[in-house]
Chain A
Amino acid sequence: MGRIVLEQVSKSFGDTEVIPPLDLAIEDGEFAVFVGPSGCGKSTLLRLIAGLEDTSGGRILIDGEDATAVPPAKRGLAMVFQSYALYPHMTVRKNIAFPMRMAGIDRAEQDRRIEKAAAALNLTDYLHRRPGQLSGGQRQRVAIGRAIVREPAAFLFDEPLSNLDAALRVGMRLEISELHKRLDTTMIYVTHDQVEAMTMADKIVVLRAGVIEQVGSPLELYKTPRNTFVAGFIGSPKMNLIEGPEAQRHGAHTIGIRPEHIAVSAEGGPWSGVVGVSEHLGSDTFFHIHDTGLGDMITVRADGEVGFRHGDRVSLTPRMDVLHKFDANGLRIA
């Protein structure tokens, strides 16, 4: 169980409205990811759901019950913080046991759940250590362990992987996804990492300045972004957004085309330009093309082997079937 519904929830700090009234429903067992630029209110929204901040208006329903005024401990949610927030003076075992101890669960049951969580998270050998004696990834797992043993209705993660190095991040990403598959519990996950959002989410919520720009599955957002903001935000590298005469030719104020949907060749395409920086990733190469007459620089993706050099004049062929069209307000045209 863990269906979370926000009805007209808003939040202001003093006079500044950080989150204007918004509606959102997260279904039971869903993996929802909040993404958005820094300062858009992702953490605030998560903390509202957790109960660590009071709402300025609206209602929060957890499994159909109004939880707006319920204290955090009683909401049955578990949170994993970016800084892990482990208790430094307690051993790993005591850290994991803490929520159960507070709930007055008996000793034998505590031990059973600790052993189970430790086995699942590869922590069995570290139970007697203190957080200070663990690596970043291990601390992260302890924080997750502390959340699991409570058997919460939903997990809340606030950028849990941002303090880890790239390799560990990939590993932990998989572990959290796997955990979600196994527990089948609702998870809400805040990140500003594209890849985390795309790979982990059942549902992505794109926020800008406290406003929900679009809600949908990763592929929906990728294929049919509702406006230019989402179009530019989802996908890496960013979608090329082109205004002016070329857009008008397609009957739009702005057209968008993803780098992976433009073919680059020596000649023959409708657009052309000069190669600037090229980023070789081995499998792919990203070319920055200048002087196309389309406005800003255009990014295109090509195979790793394609060997254009700086200053070469190249020809570009966009795939018309995946061209995105937006009106003057930035909204998608059907």
Chain B
Amino acid sequence: MATQHSRSAARAMMAPAVVLLLGWMLIPLGMTLYFSFKKYLPLRGGDLGWVGFENYERFVSSSAFWPSVQATLIIVGGVLAITVTLGILFALLLDQPMWGQGVVRILVIAPFFVMPTVSALVWKNMFMDPNNGLFAHLWRFFGADPVVWLTEAPLFSIVLIVSWQWLPFATLILLTAIQSLDGEQLEAAEMDGAPTIKRFWYIILPHLSRAITIVILIQTIFLLSIFAEIFVTTGGAFGTKTLTYLIYQRVLESQNVGLGSAGGVYAIILANIVAIFLMRIVGKNLDA
């Protein structure tokens, strides 16, 4: 129970942080909204006045819009599927007692600390390069023609790179969830006649369900805005233009700030829908 006094002290101390955060968020948000209702072409006449919802209509009716939505969904869905499945597998493995556990865990978590730009470049040049990449050598070793990853399977390549980055996050969250499972429950299930697969299916997976939901929601929010990985690999070519990338192109390549801002507002709405679900689930978790 906080006293009156400690509560007002807490408020006073939190105030600077709250003001800073609000400014940080509200000013860009306000500016995005402001520009989205304007025709604003920095290199072709500047501010050309208010246009109402025209930017919003043009953004969704452009021929690039639906393909970009599709690319976004494929990347987000693909990465989620890979990270959650492999994350569960890795978490199960890492939970087993083994020699050098500490080192292995750190290694598994390491990719999370590599910057997206760097990891994308490493993947592009060291693994996926059709002449000198590791994969090319591997393919040649088996007598196959090297795959030109970024042009032949561009979406898959990006999913692969991004999954590699996010797998540690999923593994870490799922590992802590697995570790919180009461061992006696598994023993009880074993005595009850459930073999390994069924123990996983009936005991471990339901126990993980909340952690899985949280992984999915948090990752979705971040995956909706991946940019660097696309920028340094395909540059948005070969059907890898996501919603975020489209916005970037509208603003910086076509120099149409108003149109890009309208796209930004769509993205904000989308991210918030996910965030609301996330808050609910995390909130429930905290209550329980």
Contact = CB atoms under 8 A, between A and B. Distances in A.
A328 to B, nearest CB: 44
B190 interface: yes
B198 A102 contact: yes
A220 B259 CA distance: 93
Given A98-B189, A98-B202, A83 B184 contact: yes
B102 to A, nearest CB: 20
B191 A78 contact: yes
A73 B182 contact: no
Nearest to A71: B190
B188 A85 contact: yes
Contacts, number: 59
Contacts of A51: 191
Contacts of B198: 102
A50 B191 CA distance: 8
B192 A98 contact: yes
B187 interface: yes
A113 interface: no
B203 A87 contact: yes
Given A98-B202, A102-B198, A87 B190 contact: no
B194 A81 contact: no
Contacts of B182: 83, 85
B207 A102 contact: no
A87 B184 contact: no
A249 interface: no
Interface string B184-210: 110111111111001000110011010
Interface in A89-119: 89, 98-99, 102-103
B193 A85 contact: no
Contacts of A99: 191-193
Interface string A58-85: 0000000000000111000111011101
B192 A102 contact: yes
Interface in B162-195: 182, 184-185, 187-195
B255 to A, nearest CB: 54
Contact of B188 (A71, A77, A79, A89): A79
A333 interface: no
Which secondary structure dominates where chain B touches chain A? Answer: helix
Chain B CB within 10 Å, residue with most, of A50, A52, A103: A52
Nearest to A132: B288
A150 interface: yes
A269 B207 CA distance: 67
A86 B187 CA distance: 11
A52 B192 CA distance: 12
Contacts of A82: 184
Contacts of B185: 85-87
Contact of A73 (B192, B203, B206, B209): B192
B206 A89 contact: yes
A81 B184 CA distance: 7
A47 to B, nearest CB: 8
A258 interface: no
A81 B185 CA distance: 9
A98 B193 CA distance: 9
B194 A85 contact: no
B203 to A, nearest CB: 6
A146 interface: yes
Contacts of A146: 188, 192
A87 B191 CA distance: 13
Interface in B220-263: none
Nearest to A78: B191
Given A81-B184, A98-B202, A102-B198, A87 B193 contact: no
Interface of A: 50-52, 71-73, 77-79, 81-83, 85-89, 98-99, 102-103, 146, 150
12 contacts: A52-B187, A52-B190, A72-B187, A73-B192, A79-B191, A83-B182, A85-B185, A87-B188, A87-B203, A98-B194, A103-B193, A150-B193
Given A73-B190, A77-B191, A102-B193, 9 more contacts: A72-B187, A73-B195, A79-B191, A83-B182, A85-B182, A87-B202, A89-B206, A98-B202, A102-B198
